Structure formats: structure tokens, C-alpha cells
Structure 1
Amino acid sequence: MPKLSVITIVYNNVRDIERTIKSVVNQSYKKIEYIIIDGKSTDGTFEVVQQYKNHITKIISEPDRGIYDAMNKGLKLATGDYILFMNSGDEIYDEHTVEEVFETSPGADIYYGETEMYSDDWKSLGRRRHEAPEEFDWTSFKYGMNISHQAIYVRKNIISPFNLNYKYSSDIDWIIKAAKKASNIVNTHRYVAKYLIGGMSKKKHLASLKERFTIFTKYYGLLPNIFNHFVIAVNIIFYFMRHRKTND
């Protein structure tokens, strides 16, 4: 039974933080270390967190230099065999998810699964457009980020800190670096996370896309990356055409 460190980053999100906390503390898998990094919230978020302090291993509430700085703080505190980031507003899919993830194939370097998207009023929007690939390695992001960080469990000894030079897409860089070191990556073939749309990468969409292009160029090369983005654009067009036809 490996120990899992679940890390939640939050700042002024009193509306959603309790959902996230409950999805972690109600897991049937009990070997979980839960860490919450609060950016010194002023809207009552910290007070909600404190209500669950007996179920939370470590709570930090202090200013930070952005989401990835806060996530690095969580990594420094984590003592588990695996790391999972479940930030405020998102949820572990159901109460048996963690237990079933580790039962899939013991000893993997990375476990991953599918993500269900939810609207701002917490209504299901179905699976992400980029569905999780049948097999995953460090080259799998070349046509888009098909695994979200909420849906990937990474062995702690293959991870690196988040690169703070990236403000919106450092999680992509982080996953690719870990995947390059992984020798055994397991698809759980199940939904593992619920994702609340509208995070920082959506609010700063253009800046996020520019960072993603830079990251993908670093790993895949400029010319292949340009070609891959052409493929992405074509796939998006066909996706929305199919979606529109279905709605009609």
C-alpha cells in the first residue's frame, strides 16, 4: 500500500474548497497524506479549511508568488510515495478512486486516467476533448495536453520542482519531465478526476497557448511542433463539426 500525498492549492475560493476537501478525506484508501497550501485567503477559505484540520496532515497559509510556487511548497512538504495535485474546485472522481488506481497494476511510476469536465455551476460537460491516450509517454502531448494534472499520479522520486519561468503551463513541462524518467506508465482505464473549468490557463488563454508552444518546441523541436499544431487545428475543426452535427 503506497502512501499518496494529495496536494491542494487554494486562494480565495470559499465557494469550492469544501467539495475538494471532502473528495479527498472521504476516500476509502486510507494511506493518504493531505496537504493544503493556502495563499493567505481573505474570503473565508482558510476558515473552511480549518474545519477539516483533523483530517488534513499539513496546512500552510501564507502569500506565494503564484500557483506553481504554491505547488512547489506542497512538493517540499510531501512525504508520500506518489504525488497527486487536486486543486481547489476539482475533485477526486469518487470515494473508491485512489484505491482502484493503485489496484490497477502495483508499482508503476505513473498512473493516469480520464477527466470529467464541470461547468462553473457544477454541471457535467462530459469528457475532455483531448481524451486520455491508450498508451502514454513523454511524446504524447505533441497533439495537445491529453492528461490533466488532476488525473495523473506520479512517483515522487521521478519528479522535479515546477519551473517558475512558466506562469500558466508549467504543469505540462512538469508532466513531460516526469514521463521521460518513467519506465512503467499505467492507464487505469477509468475516470479519476472531476475538473472545474475556468482556471488560470483559461483566463489567460492566449498567454497559456504561447507558453505551451514554447514548452512543446523545447521537447519536440520547432518544425515538428508547427506541424503538430496544424494537426491540432484540423482536429479541433472536425471535433466541433461533429459536435455541431450531433446537436442538430
Structure 2
Amino acid sequence: MTTNKPKISIITVNYNNADGLRETIRSVTEQSYAAIEYIVVDGASTDGGVDVLESFRPNLAHAISEKDTGIYNAMNKGIKLATGDYLLFLNSGDKLISPQIIEEVVAQGLHADLVYGDLKFFDDAKEWTWNLPDELTFRFFYDSTLPHPSTFISRELFDTVGLYDEELKIVSDWKFFMLAVAKHNCSYQHIGQMISAYNFDGISSKPENGQAIQVERSKVLAETFPLFLADYEELDRLKKELKKIKYFMKVRKAVKKIFNSK
């Protein structure tokens, strides 16, 4: 599948984020690695995003702007256009961490279905990092996910798992990663290196979407891993009870210490 110089398809999805799109495209077109196929899928933006797209068109393998039915419909359009050995989703507003990062990742070797690195978050006030574990478990996906801006996905894995579920509005990438690892037993490789910077204003990052995320995740878990779900819900209940007991014991110890000191 991969060669000494694997082709990397980078897919950017955009809708009405012209400034973010410009920054994202620049971070990709500045890469020192030559074998990049860059695809931008715009959802018929009305804020000048189409003009940004046109200004960079000579640097893009594919550039389309048309209405879609949501972010995962747009991402699936990109997958269907991609011909690379590995796909990386870097949506508008997100940036690769340095002009050499793709070359550095390839130099370490792409040997697994999923190759993921660490992620930097940023917003208007601050920035912070997310360091991923070397080992992935069902428990990990029950609580968390892999960050798509720093995860290289083998093109062949989409043939195994399928495209993103367009009925989901927020967690379809989480579903894809969970099924790939926990159901299809795909291979994975963690690179302990920062890959991308993620703009913390995406749909899954907004506090008002927290309940919708939980509803979608619960629906997916109930449909795909119903026997596991009851066990993990019970485990969470017990963990919360244990946390309460530990807090009570801590308070009791503190009160006892106060009285003993008198």
C-alpha cells in the first residue's frame, strides 16, 4: 500500500469561514513534502470563502463549492475524490503545526491503518495540548476519540469500515474510529509528536452541543455494542459512588484532624 513516498490526501471542509479557510490552505500549501493531494470541499459559502478557494485553486488537486447536507456529507465527498495512500482531515480554521510536519511524519514511517499524533487546541484566549495514549481500548472510545486533524487514515480502511455516517451530525468521525479499532481490529500507531493545531470553535467543541453529542454517542453505542453498554454504564455508576466515598472520607479525616488538634 505505502511506498517510500506515500501520497497524502489532505481534505479540508469549509462553510462560511473564509478567514479560517485561508489560514488552513496556507498551512498545507507551505508543506515541504511534495506528495500531497489537497482537496477542498466548500458548502456553497456566502462569506467570501469561494473567492478564497478560487485564489488558491492552482495549488489544489480538487476544489468544489456546492450545497451539502452537513459536514459528514462534505467529508465523504472528499473521500470519494481522494487517491492518496493516507487521508488527513484538516477543516477550515485548523492548521498543520509546521511546514515540515508531513515530511517528518512520513520519515517516521506510516505502518498502520491509523497513524495518529498529538493535537494543540487554541482559541482567542489561550492554547493547550492533547497528548494521546499509545494504546487504544474500548474504554478510551467510550470516553473519548481520536482527533481527526492529527490522524492519518489508510485509504483502504474506508473500504473496510465504510464512509462517515451522514445521519449523525456531530460524532460520525468518533463512530468511524471506534468501529475501526474496537470492531474491525485495525492496526494503529501513535506518533508522540504534535501534528496540528485545532481551532476550538468547531461544532463538537461548543458547550451548547454537549447534550446532542451525548444523545448521538448513546445511540451509536446502543446499536453497535449493546452488550458492552450496560456494563460500562454500571462501571460509571460505581466510579461516581466511589468518588463520593473518597470525598466523604477526605472530609471526615480533615474534621477529625481539626478536633484532635484542640
Would you say the 8 A contact 1:144–1:232 is kept in 2? no
Provide the C-alpha distance between the structure 2 equivalents of 1:153 and 1:233, rounded to a whole number of angstroms.
Answer: 35
Contact 2:134-2:189 at 8 Å conserved across structures: no
Contact conserved, 1:109 with 1:182, CA < 8 A, in 2?
no
CA distance in 2, matches of 1:136, 1:3: 26
Are 2:218 and 1:213 equivalent residues in the alignment? yes
8 Å CA contact 1:137–1:185 kept in 2: the answer is no
Q: CA deviation at 1:50?
A: 1.2
Match of 2:13 in 1: 9
> Any gaps of 5 or more consecutive residues in structure 2?
245-262
Q: TM-score, normalised by structure 1?
A: 0.85
- Supply the distance in 2 between the matched residues of 1:232 and 1:88 (Cα, whole angstroms): 38
The whole-number CA distance in structure 1 between the counterparts of 2:235 and 2:99 is 38
User: Residue in 2 aligned with 1:168?
Assistant: 170
Structure 2 counterpart of 1:195, one-letter code: Y
Deviations 1:197-224, CA, capped at 9 Å, x for gaps: 1211225221012112222343372213
**How far apart in 2 are the matches of 1:233 and 1:215?**
23
Determine the structure 1 residue equivalent to 2:201: 198
The answer to whether the Cα contact below 8 Å between 1:33 and 1:57 also exists between their aligned partners in 2 is yes
Q: 1:154 and 2:159 equivalent?
A: no
CA distance in 1, matches of 2:57, 2:88: 19
> Contact 2:111/2:189 (CA < 8 Å) preserved in 1?
no
Does residue 223 (structure 1) correspond to residue 227 (structure 2)? The answer is: no
Unaligned stretches of 5+ residues in structure 1: 238-248
Distance 2:101 2:239 in 1: 31
1:182 to 1:5, Cα distance in 2 relative to 1, 3 A: farther
TM-score by length of 2: 0.80
Counterpart Cα distance in 2 of 1:228 and 1:8? 38
Q: CA deviation at 1:137?
A: 5.3
> Could you tell me how far 1:143 is from its partner in structure 2?
2.6
* Cα distance in 1, alignment partners of residues 239 and 44 from structure 2: 39
Cα 1:138–1:46 shift into 2, 3 Å = farther
Closer/same/farther in 2, CA of residues 232 and 166 from structure 1, 3 Å limit: farther
Alignment of 1:56-71 (within 5 A): 56-71=60-75
Is the 1:113–1:192 Cα contact (8 Å) retained in structure 2?
yes
Deviations 1:138-194 (CA, angstroms, capped at 9, x unpaired): 66312322x211111010001221111211111101112333446431111101111
In 1, the alpha carbon distance for the partners of 2:41 and 2:239 equals: 35
Q: Decide whether the 8 Å contact of 2:23 with 2:93 is kept in 1.
A: yes
Q: 1:177 to 1:183 in 2, by over 3 A?
A: closer
Structure 2 residue 103 is matched with structure 1 residue 99: yes
Q: Which has the higher helix share?
A: 2
Deviations 1:2-31 (A, max 9, x none): 111100000010121111001111111110
Query: Among 104, 117, 120, which residue is 1:113 paired with?
Result: 117
The one-letter code sitting in structure 1 at the alignment partner of 2:219 is: T
Tell me the amino acid that sits aligned with residue 13 of structure 1: N
1:59-104: CA deviation from partner (whole Å, max 9, x where unpaired): 1100000000111111111111111100001111211111111222
AA at the equivalent of 1:215: V
Is 1:136 aligned to 2:143, yes or no?
no
Task: Provide Cα deviations, 1:25-59, integer angstroms capped at 9, x if missing partner.
Answer: 11111101000000001110110111111111101
Matched positions, count: 231
Task: Return the alpha-carbon distance in structure 2 between the equivalents of residues 233 and 53 of structure 1.
Answer: 53
